[in-house]
Structure formats: C-alpha cells, structure tokens
Amino acid sequence: MNKKPNLLFFGIDSLRGDHMSLYGYHRLTTPHIDKFAQGGAVFQHVFSPSIPTTPGYASMFTGMDCFGTNIVALRHEGDIAQGVPTLAEVLKEQGYNTTCIGFSGNPASRGFDKYIDYEGWGSYDEGRSPKAENLNKVAIPELQRLAAEDKPFFLFLRHMDPHSPYLPPGPFERIFYGGDEYDPDNNSLKPVYEFKPFADYFRSWFPPGCTDKEYIIAQYDGAIAYMDACIQNIFTAVEALGIEEETLIVITSDHGETLHDHECWYDHHGLYDCTLTIPLIFRYPGKVPAGKRYYDYCQHKDIMPTILEIMGIEYEGNFDGRSLVPLFKGEDREREPEFYITECTWMRKHGWRTPEWKLIRALEPDFHFKPEVELYNLIKDPEENNNVAEEEPEVVEMLTARMEAHIAKRERETGRKNPMYTNLNWHGGEGGPFKTSQQAYDTLYIGSPKTAQKLQAGEEGEE
C-alpha cells in the first residue's frame, strides 16, 4: 500500500511578505527559501484578513473565515466554533502522526498528537536570541523520528524569528546595517520611546541608547535572513531522509509586521497592508508545478482546502475557503477581490478591502488616537499614508454598506453574531470596551518579553 504524502508546514510568525527577497525586497533576506521556491508555486497576493496570531492560525488550520471559526482576538477564550475540525484532526483520522512545534496551548493549535516547545523569545540582557536554532534542535530529531515511522506525518513548525524581540545572532545583526545606531543626532526612535504602552518593552530589547530606526528594521531583516539559513538545515534534513518526493512542504505566515509604519511601532496591529500581506509557497514534486507564480488574491482560509486536495485526501466537511489547485491545472478559479478584515490585537477595528480601496472602521477608540474612520486609495496611495475618508464620503458609505451586507450574510449562514461584536474583553482587561483613546492608552501596556510571551499564550498578567 502506498503511504499517503507527508505534510511539513512552516508557520512563520510576523513574516511580512514584502521584506522577503522572494517578493522583490531590495535586501537578500531569504536566499534559501527563494531557491527552494523555484521548485514549487509562489502566491503573490496572499492576505491574513483577521489579525493577529490566534485568528490567523485558526483560519489557516480550519479553512474557515473569522465567522466560521468564531475567533477574532489574540486572547481568545474558549475553543474554535463547535463542529469545526482542525487540519491536525482531519489528518489524524486519516492515519497521520501529527506534531506541533512551538505553538502549544492556543485554541488554533488543537488536535495534534504531540506538542514540543522551544525558546522563541529573548531580551537584550539575555544576549542574541538563536530562536530558529532552538527550533531546529527539537524539530530535526522529531522530523527524523516521524520519517522512520510507517505512518505518514504532519509536522507543523512555528518560527518566531521575525516576531519581536528582533535579536538575530551575529553576523546577522549587522548584515544589513553599517551605520551608527547610537548617533546622538538621530531622533528617528524618539516617538517610539515616547509611546508609553510599548516603551518599556522596546527598552528591554533595543540596545541601550539606540537612536536609529533603520538599525531596528535591519534587525528584523537580519532575523529573517538568520531564520532562512536555519530553515535550509530542515530542507537539507528532508533531502538526507530521502522524503522529498513524498512530502508536501508549505510556507506561510500568520500576519505581517508594521515595523516603523503607521505609528504601530514594531508590532502587528493596524489593518494596513504591511500587516495583512503574507507569503505562501507550496512545493511537492509532481503535484505542484515548479517555478510558477500566481497573482490571484487568496487568503488563509484557502490553505487547508488546497493542502487536502494536493494530498488527495477526501473531506466531507465544508470550507469557507477554496482550493487553489485549479490554478495549478491552468483552470479558472472564481476570484475574491474584496473581503472583510478584522483586528483585535491592541485595537478593535474592522473594515473592507477592495483592489482599489481600504476602509477601516473603529469599533472602539484606540490607543493611537487614530480617527474613527479611515479610507485609503490603494492605487494612488499604496502605502496608506493619506486618509481620504472626509474627501470621499460616498466611497465610505458604499464600502460600509458592502461590509455590513457581508456581515449580515455570514451571520445568517453561521447562525451566530459577528465575533467582532461579541468579543468585548478582547484586550484581556476588565470593564468592556474603551470609552476614549486616552483610556486605551493608559490601560494597555506591555512591559517585557515575558509579558509578551504570556499574551501570546493567552495567559493573564503583567510584569
């Protein structure tokens, strides 16, 4: 009997597609992934419509949108919506061994046989943070163990290198930076240090006295390059095990990263495209065409149906997403050029994105004191720096109506209220929605990498 194909799935936290050389970035950040992707299919326009981590992975692992998963918040309480199986559960029923590395204790990672953790954080005092090498130390032996079994496997790896703190080991910390990060005449980080909710956290991993934002951005890019080199270790292990021809490899991310954009400093909140755009690569010799790049819009919810179709696994359930396999065959796939976007990270907002327009509406005041309604023309202003909501009231009205019609439709289909309306303690605090931006600014605070790690794990408590 032929063994079913294996699945090796890289979920890279906070990896912004436009900072990969694979997607045309001016720095050579992902040479190994770039070369790997030549043997597979790359998707150019991939979106994480519901940020951040928990709703992103929930959608990726169920093929459902945020209405289908009922998850929109990082600190989601409870499970994925009843009756929605995860990819791990579906594959386990098909006789797969399943292991999850670096993502235990989250509602989105339900259903694996085995969970292995590794140190994926760090601080300046602790020194440089070899996150991807820490992952490899547990991932490569587990890959070898799974490959030796007589059952097919699903191995999920959650890389944390592009997630703050950006602390790549040498030489990667200076691979893209040759300046003076302590230049006293450089004031580019001044507003970052003045942003009270995050300032103490940043001081815990920025070099003491650092003044140059370009140094911090170079740390993010260096962390990607470092991780890319470590991922090559895993590609090499797959080759050495002789399982390339029987293993589907998928690379994607849960969301992007803001870096210094939109005053959402070095994080992944704000419904701007820097946070919504992610990479997506499939490689499986003989089943996925090599050297192809596809330009259709796709989303997290399309990943699971694509994986199951590539692997030839029958599935009786329903998806909100749709397989991308027709594109591999040169067939048409109905496009989805406009879609609903949500965030419950440090702000609670939702909106509607079309190829031309981005509408963002606040559901409560935010800690950046941003306007309640934002509208960007993505063709004239692709970096979303010019809010034209006041100049284009008809467009705001039209997009709001389309968004509200979509919400009403999905509420009818799921029999549940939009989770954006019901998840009122999304920020983990007491007292429900914020009444003012000042209240949000004074309430929301992250003090250290340990606090950030607890927030990611859904645990309460500040340090």
Report pLDDT for 341.
Answer: 98
At 360, the amino acid letter reads I
Q: Is residue 1 part of a domain?
A: no
Clarify whether residues 413 and 289 are in a common domain: no
Stretch 211-238: mean pLDDT: 98
- Give the pLDDT of residue 459: 57
Of 306, 328, 350, which marks where a domain is finished?
328
Q: What is the pLDDT of residues 192-208, one digit of tens each?
A: 999 999 999 999 999 99
Q: Any idea what the CATH number is for the domain that residue 79 is in?
A: 3.40.720.10
Question: In whole numbers, what is the pLDDT of the chain averaged over residues?
Answer: 94
Beta strand 247-253 with 280-283 is antiparallel
Do 274 and 323 lie in one domain? The reply is yes
Domain of residue 408: give its range. 339-457
Domains contained in the chain, number: 2
Residue 357 phi, psi dihedral angles, 5° rounding: -125, 150
CATH of the domain at 382: 3.30.1120.10
Say how far apart CA 65 and CA 347 lie, in whole Å.
20
Question: Could you tell me if 30 and 225 are in contact, meaning their C-beta atoms sit under 8 angstroms apart?
Answer: yes
Mean pLDDT of 234-245: 98
DSSP 2: P
Judgement on whether residues 306 and 180 belong to the same structural domain of the protein: yes
Kindly report which listed range (14-18, 42-46, 119-123, 191-195) carries the lowest average pLDDT score.
119-123
The answer to whether residue 460 scores a pLDDT higher than 70 is: no
Among 139, 145, 141, 119, CA closest to 130: 119
Q: What is the pLDDT of residues 123-160, one digit of tens each?
A: 777 889 999 999 999 999 999 999 999 999 999 999 99
Q: Are residues 450 and 321 in the same domain?
A: no
Q: Each residue of 151-200: pLDDT tens digit?
A: 999 999 999 999 999 999 999 999 999 999 999 999 999 999 999 999 99
Summarize the confidence of residues 66-95 as an average pLDDT. Answer: 94
- Identify whether residues 41 and 112 lie together within a single domain: yes
Is the same domain home to 356 and 298?
Answer: no
| Residue 288 shares a structural domain with residue 385 | no
Strand (E) or helix (H) holding 352: strand 348-353
**Does a structural domain hold residue 283?**
yes
The answer to whether residues 310 and 398 belong to one domain is no
Is residue 438 very low, low, confident or very high in pLDDT (cuts 50, 70, 90)?
Answer: very high
Global pTM value:
0.96
Q: Is 263 left (phi over 0), alpha (psi -120 to 50) or beta?
A: left
Judge contact between 260 and 213, C-beta under 8 A.
yes
Mean pLDDT of 83-96: 96
* Contact (CB, 8 A) for 61 and 108: yes
> Which one of 263, 297, 328 terminates a domain?
328
| DSSP of 171-222 | TTTSTT--S-TT-TT--TTHHHHT-HHHHHHHHTTSPTT---HHHHHHHHHH
Mean pLDDT of 338-342: 98
Q: Give the SS3 label for residue 269.
A: coil
